[in-house]
A and B are shown apart, each in its own frame.
Chain A
């Protein structure tokens, strides 16, 4: 029987412990379950595995470009500067935690299906990249809290928590989603949900008579920011140049030049510029890897979900709401970016010295996507003012929460990157903090958190979502009174104007 041990050991150590192969096998199994042809199974599995390896290659490029920036920020401010980019921190962390997180991903998906089947929370979370990010976040936080030797416990607990968060967040956001889309067929499946709900609530509080953003004719000049390669490179060039010039002013010249190993000031500035573009290169490589993996993995998952929980609502990525408020997206993005900058200053002058919070530098991509989403949520309940305030609130959240999350992140906290979106921040911190009391208490508290979320969301679903509560109903009434005949086109869930009229089809 010794050969069996050798074979199992080989399988375990050389194949199932290598994240790329594991992901490839999972994809292939999913495709087999869906009875795809042999060619599609082999091609899909191989492509997913290769995509995962591409992820690692991109991580190397990003880390190399972040390293001098980290030293530069430390030299001029004395504080750690961090750029929250989910793709980047995932690529970095998957080197150490990839295999475990792949198990959490698969088991968590099964937990989600069970919860969707047997609780009122009938949502199927389909945003594949966020599933991957959350499974990795949970692996890191649980591994740091429970210790490396309790790997099996990390996988089980992580899977339960992943399954829970994937069905409760869409439920909590559903009243606003219904308000935005005008019907009840799709949900939001994106881990910026706390920011969206906060934006919806803030919009309701401030925008009592404000009209919809969709009545504004907005310049199209900012549209290029939708291109993530351009947005990422641009924001990094700005960040790099600000700190490079600051370094040149604040530090002794020789010390500043030494950071990039440059001979003179000109070479130093261009080295900073080049490093910023390299970051964009790395993110582009990682995104290509993520795309390659997800293009194969998500269809396999979705096919299975459809068979197990027929009729459940699909919870989708945030851009699904963008057509319902194209102007709100831009307003929300700009306001979110502003909120990020204001909070950065707040951290630099107060929270960093007092609590040791890291400086979270605003990244264009998270601010565009979650800020844009927050703008749409804010507009739905509070019009133009709502979109702006909602975006701002989101910007504050995605700057504070990642900084707090870094405190529970262990040695990965030194990687100069972290998870950006709001739910990663609060959920990761809650889990990390509950593990502070030791493994036994920690596991109990984590299970209680999971149970409380499911019970809370179920009650919310039954009492609030199913009874048809409409956020901001009073404002709709006020606007209806104020503008009479115009109201048919001014309610935020019905975009006005020729450009958006065709979108009404999206409600059927």
Chain B
């Protein structure tokens, strides 16, 4: 399974989100590849992914993709990330 985390440049906050998502996935015992992407390549990366994690304002810009787009309010809140990933995987 592939998960894409998205921020404006793909090198700052999306890497943070990637790390926290990986931590959440390890805790959940789910095996997945998490990849950080910038908003420019996110749409392409999302084509082969199951899940896209991003902030509220960027979610609109990703638009219609086959992957499920999940809005994360707080990139550092492990409870929120874990819960939203769990919900999305069901």
A in complex with B: yes
- A287: contacting residue among B22, B35, B38, CB under 8 A: B38
Asked if B57 and A508 sit within 8 Å, CB to CB, the answer is: no
- B10: contacting residue among A127, A287, A508, CB under 8 A: A287
Q: How far is the CB of B68 from chain A (nearest CB, A)?
A: 19
* Chain B residues numbered 1-25 whose CB sits less than 8 Å from any CB in chain A: 7-13, 15-16, 18-19, 22
> Which residues from A are CB-within-8-Å of B38?
227-229, 287, 291
Asked if B15 and A298 sit within 8 Å, CB to CB, the answer is: yes
Q: Is A356 an interface residue (CB 8 A)?
A: no
Asked if B58 and A226 sit within 8 Å, CB to CB, the answer is: yes
Q: Is A182 an interface residue (CB 8 A)?
A: no
> Which residues from B are CB-within-8-Å of A505?
73-74, 77, 80
Q: How far is the CB of B76 from chain A (nearest CB, A)?
A: 6
> Which residues from A are CB-within-8-Å of B73?
323, 502-503, 505-506
List the count of A-B residue pairs having beta carbons below 8 Å apart: 94
Q: Which of B9, B35, B39 has the most CB of A within 10 A?
A: B9
> Which residues from B are CB-within-8-Å of A126?
16
Asked if B40 and A229 sit within 8 Å, CB to CB, the answer is: yes
A227 to B76: give the CA distance in the assembly, Å: 23
Asked if A295 and B16 sit within 8 Å, CB to CB, the answer is: no
Q: Is A223 an interface residue (CB 8 A)?
A: yes
> Which residues from B are CB-within-8-Å of A295?
15, 18, 35-36
A290 to B13: give the CA distance in the assembly, Å: 14
Asked if B56 and A294 sit within 8 Å, CB to CB, the answer is: no
> Which residues from B are CB-within-8-Å of A323?
55-57, 73
Q: What residue of chain A has the Cβ atom nearest to residue B18's Cβ?
A: A295
Asked if B18 and A299 sit within 8 Å, CB to CB, the answer is: yes
Q: Knowing A186-B76, A223-B61, A326-B57 are in contact, say whether A317-B39 is a contact too (CB < 8 A).
A: no
Q: Is A151 an interface residue (CB 8 A)?
A: no
21 contacts between A and B (CB under 8 A): A128-B11, A128-B15, A129-B12, A226-B39, A228-B9, A228-B39, A287-B11, A290-B11, A291-B10, A291-B11, A291-B37, A295-B18, A298-B15, A299-B18, A316-B16, A319-B9, A319-B13, A323-B56, A365-B9, A505-B74, A505-B80
Chain B: residues with CB nearer than 8 A to chain A? 7-13, 15-16, 18-19, 22, 35-40, 55-58, 61, 73-77, 80
